[in-house]
């Protein structure tokens, strides 16, 4: 994601299961403060690597960010992939990044 912010070819950023702590590693996202591209954070409500309060704080303090929590989903969205996909598709269409699916 850090490389996507300054890249003019990248129109928006989607982060799935944004970790804050995993296997002894800590993740910080200060660079998002200077990144004005639209951003979507999608996380599971039971994600073992993403503290919900930290994620909500990140989304609230990051320019042009949206947050979707998929209830009861773990870090890998096991059994909840359809809900994750719907969240992404809805956001992409709302951003004008991709056209809405036809009703054919």
What are the pLDDT tens digits along the chain (104 aa)?
Answer: 999 999 999 999 999 999 999 999 999 999 998 999 999 999 999 999 999 999 999 999 999 999 999 999 999 999 999 999 999 999 999 999 876 565 55
* pLDDT for position 102: 57
d(CA 84, CA 62): 21
Can you say whether the dihedral through the CA atoms of 33, 49, 15, 2 is positive or negative? positive
How many CB atoms sit inside 10 A of residue 52's CB?
A: 15
d(CA 96, CA 104): 20
Question: Cα 10 to chain center, whole Å?
Answer: 15
């Amino acid at each position: 994601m850090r490389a996507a912010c300054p890249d003019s070819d990248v129109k928006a950023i989607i982060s799935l299961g944004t970790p804050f702590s995993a296997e002894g590693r800590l993740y910080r996202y200060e660079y998002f403060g200077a990144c004005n591209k639209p951003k979507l954070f999608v996380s599971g409500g039971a994600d073992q690597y993403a503290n919900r309060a930290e994620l909500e704080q990140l989304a609230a303090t990051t320019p042009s960010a949206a947050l979707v929590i998929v209830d009861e989903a773990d870090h890998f969205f096991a059994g909840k992939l359809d809900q994750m996909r719907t969240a992404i598709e809805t956001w992409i269409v709302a951003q004008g990044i991709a056209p809405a699916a036809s009703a054919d």
